[in-house]
Amino acid sequence: MIFKSVRDGRPYPEHGFTLKQWSEIPPRPLRLDQLITTKRELALDKLLAEDSTFYGDLFPHVVQWHGGLYLEDGLHRALRAALQQRNQIHARVLVLPTE
C-alpha cells in the first residue's frame, strides 16, 4: 500500500491558509505510508506532466490533525515519487489544533 488511507474530502476544519502562508512553513520529510489522501481520484495527464509544479508550490501541503497526516495538495507529486520507487517526500506540514 502506498498511502495509509484514501479519503474523499477533508475531515479537518477549514484553515484558510494562503499560498504565501504555506510557503513560510519549512518542508520536512514524510513517509508516504503515513499520509492519508483527501482525494480519491487524480488526472493522469497531471501525473505525467513534466511541469506539474509550474504554477504551484514545489512541496506538497499536509495538514496534521487529530494524529493524522492529511495530504491536502500534492497527490500527483506523491504518487510520482512512489512510481519512482521513493518511499518519502518533502512536504510542508500545517499542524491544526485539536480543540
3-state secondary structure the chain: CCCCEECCCCCCCCCCCCHHHHHCCCCEEEEHHHEEECCCCCCHHHHHCCCCCCCCCCCCEEEEECCEEEEEECHHHHHHHHHCCCCEEEEEEEECCCC
Joined together, the cell numbers standing for residue 53 give: 509544479
Structure pTM? 0.86
Delimit the domains of the chain by residue range.
Answer: 1-7+19-50+60-90
The model's pLDDT over 4-33, given as tens digits with 9 standing for 90+, comes to: 999 999 999 999 999 999 999 999 999 999
pLDDT band at 70 (very low <50, low <70, confident <90, very high): very high
Which one is predicted more confidently, 22 or 55? Answer: 22
